[in-house]
Amino acid sequence: MSRECTGGSSVAVIGRTMINETDAELHMKKYKYYDRADLFPENIRTMEIKEWQEFARKNPYLAKFFNKKLPGYFLLALETWNSEASFDICNPLTENIFSDVISSWRNIIINGDEKSEVAKSLLESVGQALSSFPGKDK
């Protein structure tokens, strides 16, 4: 799937075209704690079912994160996000789930929760994911 990006070149828009689903777990393993479902935030704002299909199409890894609750999918959503594409095509940073997850992990740290070191590592992985792209070595 390609769309016209703001710069005029045809670019892949979403993660599912960049990482084969069967390889997703392999890609997630480069992130520490990628499989910690216990770090899925308790309070995630949800959407109407009619909005869910559009959300899942634009942000397939965020949708998988919501369904499977594994932080690795959240990180893949950021890693595979094509920031060159038009802002309104797909931008995981504008989704409620993004801010809810970041706030939740940050609050774990601020509150001195027993999982604070894990949350700190996951937030560091957010930076790693944003500075990476599929196929790039760690």
Average pLDDT, the chain: 79
CA angle 31, 37, 40 (to 5 degrees): 100
pTM: 0.78
Tell me how many domains the chain contains.
Answer: 1
Q: Are 34 and 81 in contact (CB under 8 A)?
A: no
Q: What is the pLDDT of residue 87?
A: 58
The length of the chain in residues reads 138
Q: Please check whether residue 23 lies inside any domain of the structure.
A: yes
Q: What is the pLDDT of residue 136?
A: 59
Q: Please check whether residue 100 lies inside any domain of the structure.
A: yes
Show Cβ contacts of residue 6 under 8 Å, excluding neighbours closer than 6 positions. 84, 85, 86, 87
Q: Please check whether residue 57 lies inside any domain of the structure.
A: yes
Q: Which domain holds residue 84?
A: 2-130
Q: What is the pLDDT of residue 63?
A: 86
Q: Please check whether residue 61 lies inside any domain of the structure.
A: yes
pLDDT at 5 over 60: no
Where are any strands of DSSP class E within the chain? 2-4, 10-12
* 16-68 pLDDT per residue, tens: 445 566 678 888 888 999 999 999 998 887 767 777 787 787 788 888 898 89
Q: What is the pLDDT of residue 3?
A: 35
Q: What is the pLDDT of residue 35?
A: 94
Q: Are 43 and 108 in contact (CB under 8 A)?
A: no
Q: Please check whether residue 135 lies inside any domain of the structure.
A: no
